[in-house]
Amino acid sequence: MKLGVLISGRGSNLQALLAAKKEERLPLADFRLAVSNKPDAPGLDIARSFGLRTAVIDGSKYRGRRAEHDRAIDQVLREHECEAIVLAGYMRVLGAEFIAGWRNRIINIHPSLLPSFPGLHAQRQALEYGVRTSGCTVHFVDEGTDTGPIILQRTVPVLPGDTEDSLAARILVEEHHAIVEAVALLSQGRVNIEGRSVRVSSGGRVG
């Protein structure tokens, strides 16, 4: 499966994917390119260090023209023959037209147990709410904010004295497992959407 990865910043989830690919844990995932909406995203250097092509579609040049920005991203993904998209720390909202054009072919990783704490600052929201367990979710992207069908989730405890940073770091470790496992399942064609639910068909061990 030919994949494009969208990033906005640090790129540690992208790194987890590319390292898994290098270690032959994602044999059916063909990463075609990484696209960033920020020209200075450190994740771009990570992509390059793995020999992955990169593209920058600078969001600041498209202020107030989201649909045009989306179309530029769509074009570069199609030029690289992508069949599905992984949002790996992509912090910009994609428009309805873009999502419709990639229906059930975009997955996102989010640092909370959805449907709790969608949107920005998920870890801070979890701490402020006082939950005892948090984690991460990989889900399909629909037109809502972090509302699409859930592929998998991993949990972590929230510990006494946790700060936003300490909780985020604990969740991030699980994110890196979750995103690799989800891409493995997706690329193996084992992820089936049935209404709001995702059924994972059986197969060998992954991730």
Sites of contact with ligand GAR (CB under 6 A): 7, 9-13, 43, 88-89, 109-111, 122, 172, 175
Q: Which helix (H) or strand (E) holds 178?
A: helix 164-187
CA–CA separation, 136 vs 175, rounded Å? Answer: 6
Of the candidates 191, 157, 196, 201, the residue with the CA atom closest to the CA atom of residue 1: 191
Least Å distance, CB 99 to ligand GAR, is 15
Least Å distance, CB 172 to ligand GAR, is 6
Q: Is 177 a catalytic residue?
A: no
Which lies closer to ligand GAR via its Cβ, residue 7 or residue 33? Answer: 7
Catalytic annotation, pick one of 69, 80, 110, 139: 110
Task: State the residue number with the nearest CB to ligand GAR.
Answer: 89
CA–CA separation, 204 vs 92, rounded Å? Answer: 35
CA–CA separation, 155 vs 133, rounded Å? Answer: 7
Which lies closer to ligand GAR via its Cβ, residue 75 or residue 145? Answer: 145
Least Å distance, CB 55 to ligand GAR, is 17
Quote the tokens at residue 206.
């992954």
Catalytically annotated residues: 110
